[in-house]
Structure 1
Amino acid sequence: MNAVPDITLNNGVKIPQLGFGTFQIPPADTREATLTALEIGYRHIDTAQMYGNEKEVGQAVRDSGLDRDDIFVTSKLNNPFHDPADAHAAFDQSLVDLGLGHLDLFLIHWPQAGIGKFVETWKALEEIYRSGRVRAIGVSNFQPNHLRRIMDGSVVVPAINQIEVHPYLIQDEVRAFDTEQGIATEAWAPIAKGKVLTDPVIVRIANDVGRTPAQVALRWALQRGDIVFPKSVTRARVEENFGLFDFELSDADIAEISALNRDERTGPHPDQVNG
């Protein structure tokens, strides 16, 4: 088994740098896919209320035979629940659905900047954090201006900012701000939903190092210091995505891949999501 390194968050909690994502995995397939990932060696599972598969993720963790404390589980607050009372109730429901007793990380899924409640929502997450039912709290899809508002109006600095990052959207400005504030960056859509896998530069580098284009794109993200969690329901692909820690890309490779940036998103801009 490849040893997955840990990233130490700003509150001392450790998170595996490679995880298994469950976005767009149907609930009927989630338990089996998550069990497969855990069998292969993943110890970090990313889900969300919005995905509709928390129950199946929790079932897989319980059925895995692994110690609960050895598995890092993330979920995220769904957009309709930004009112503080709703955020508390939604978190409570996640704990019920997951059936795991506690969460390792809980994120605000989108800032919903046009609605403008996310500072109040963050204060609710701080209360949940202080209750001891979650080991760390953070945000997802937040821009530096959103993060500044949170940090100006609250006590706890987010541990994580989960944003779209891949070779066509390198997000260096947001990542640099995260680093300055002690916030770890997680990269969602790390292969741009497959778009980067046929890029000639990535294909050539993959041939040079004897790896697949997906492995090269994921390794690029890891070497830049991001936390990644690719998603697949195919065992061979889940195994492939786990094989990232017995090779390295050169500095020249990293620079060449970063130069592919187009500021091209596969999902919406955070300021456009308000519901």
Structure 2
Amino acid sequence: MALPRSFPIQAAGGKTIDLPSVGFGTWAFEGGPTDPANPEWIKKALKVAFDTGYRHLECAWFYDVDREIGEAIREYGIPHFEIFISSKIWPNFYHPDYVEVCCDKILDGMGVNHVDCLLLHWPCAFRPTSLEALKTASAQDQASMEQKGMALTQDGDVMIDWQWTSEPIARAGGHPEGSIVPTWKSMEKLVQKGKARAIGVSNFDIADLKALLPHATIPISVNQIEAHPWFPNRDVVEFGNKHGIVTSCFSPFAGQKADGATLVQDPTVKKLAEKNCMGVGQLLQSWAVHVVLDSLQWDASEQTCTFTSVQRGTVPLGKSGNEERIKANFAVRRLSDEDIQALDDLERPNGTGRSIDFRKEWGVELWLKK
């Protein structure tokens, strides 16, 4: 049996929207073919991606490639209704009055009138310099933090805006009055205005989701988190499944560890890729999508999902500037239970497999369970 080509996500009014099960990430990092200093890379990559069959784009204001993405879509000639565009609000726009400012920047940059899913990028908020500064803020890689509209401490660190930070994180930081709920309510208004078809979150852990769920008049459709065999984030995925929240996964290939180790060079990963006649990225994305559902039932009154025998069922958001890898990463296939278990066994203890961690840099306690 083939892997699913899409997963239904919850939207307003009890409706669902099909989310393609494999997305294309558009975040760039310094060096290599996806250097942010050369944003034209994304147009070339998207031409290959569209030819291959990708119809799900993972974007964010902070990535600063909205203009190139919009141009790539128009130059290819593909109508918006055939593409699922997901984007994210950066945390210095979390004041309830400023959320729409960031959304409009995204829409104007791409030249579209709506996105299909709009997410809050992190569960913590950053203090902005001012509303006027946000209106002219630039996410360009060479822009300073001030030019991006972010207020800084005397030491040059970002300032957390505890007032609009997720309640569990704010409480852990000594600010029990903090809440991201008013920010979420501004997100709901964007759905009502037609600027987003669905809304969700990113980098939320279980405590953050628990704090927001009772206040979500429009459902939390997606939670985008880091997840891969080194760090499967299993408890967050399972919590999402139980509450009808689809999990999408950035960094599905993980990052390089301090000792130089990489998941794509792991002997088990390479052996399994060779066994299945796959590229390593193709193997890891297949692991992410892999799902077995003996039964699935959504209870609207209880806002819970009941199921048996489910494995992952997540949406990988792999990124590459290499033509052959772009093509291979899209061609996910079902793996044997034995191979899935072998990849599951690669999990590193105590969360040490995580690649992205800003807790020390930002001075916040992210990823709380209770």
Q: TM-score range by the shorter chain?
A: over 0.9
Q: Which one of the candidate residues 78, 98, 101 is aligned to 2:110?
A: 98
Three-state SS of the structure 1 residue aligned to 2:220 is: coil
Q: Which one of the candidate residues 357, 363, 367 is aligned to 1:268?
A: 357
Q: Which one of the candidate residues 58, 62, 71 is aligned to 2:74?
A: 62
Amino acid at match of 1:179: N
Per-residue CA distance 1:66-107 (angstroms, 9 max, x = gap):
121001111100121000111111111211111012111100
Maintained 8 Å contact 1:166/1:217 = yes
Aligned equivalents of 1:265 and 1:88: distance in 2?
A: 32
Mapping 1:110-259, distance limit 5 Å: 110-112=122-124, 115=162, 116=165, 117-193=179-255, 195-223=262-290, 224-244=312-332, 247-259=333-345
Aligned equivalents of 1:210 and 1:240: distance in 2?
A: 11
Aligned equivalents of 2:363 and 2:50: distance in 1?
A: 34
> Offset of 1:271 from its aligned partner?
9.1
Aligned equivalents of 2:270 and 2:249: distance in 1?
A: 21
Of stretches 198-207 and 263-272 in structure 1, the one that deviates more from structure 2 is 263-272
Per-residue CA distance 1:240-273 (angstroms, 9 max, x = gap):
21222xx421111111211111121110167975
Three-state SS of the structure 2 residue aligned to 1:84 is: coil
Paired residue for 2:65?
53
Aligned equivalents of 2:220 and 2:7: distance in 1?
A: 15
- 2:95 corresponds to 1:83: yes
Aligned equivalents of 1:32 and 1:205: distance in 2?
A: 30
Paired residue for 1:7?
7
Of stretches 108-117 and 211-220 in structure 1, the one that deviates more from structure 2 is 108-117
Number of residue-to-residue matches in the alignment: 272
Three-state SS of the structure 2 residue aligned to 1:218 is: helix
Maintained 8 Å contact 2:10/2:198 = no
Maintained 8 Å contact 1:103/1:135 = yes
Aligned equivalents of 2:247 and 2:215: distance in 1?
A: 21
| Distance 1:258-1:228 versus aligned 2 partners, 3 A rule | same
Aligned equivalents of 1:274 and 1:136: distance in 2?
A: 31
Per-residue CA distance 1:169-207 (angstroms, 9 max, x = gap):
011110111011100000110010362111121122112
| Distance 1:271-1:137 versus aligned 2 partners, 3 A rule | farther
Paired residue for 1:18?
22
Larger C-alpha radius of gyration, 1 or 2?
2
> Offset of 1:118 from its aligned partner?
2.1
Aligned equivalents of 2:277 and 2:48: distance in 1?
A: 25
Maintained 8 Å contact 1:78/1:109 = yes
> Offset of 1:9 from its aligned partner?
0.6
Q: What's the TM-score once normalised by structure 1's chain length?
A: 0.93
RMSD: 2.0
Percentage identity across aligned positions? Answer: 31
> Offset of 1:145 from its aligned partner?
0.7
Three-state SS of the structure 2 residue aligned to 1:190 is: coil
Of stretches 264-273 and 198-207 in structure 1, the one that deviates more from structure 2 is 264-273
> Offset of 1:18 from its aligned partner?
0.6
Paired residue for 2:56?
44
Aligned equivalents of 1:99 and 1:4: distance in 2?
A: 31
> Offset of 1:142 from its aligned partner?
0.3
Aligned equivalents of 2:215 and 2:360: distance in 1?
A: 20
Q: What's the TM-score once normalised by structure 2's chain length?
A: 0.70
Give the number of the structure whose residues are more often helix, by fraction. 1
Aligned equivalents of 1:184 and 1:127: distance in 2?
A: 21
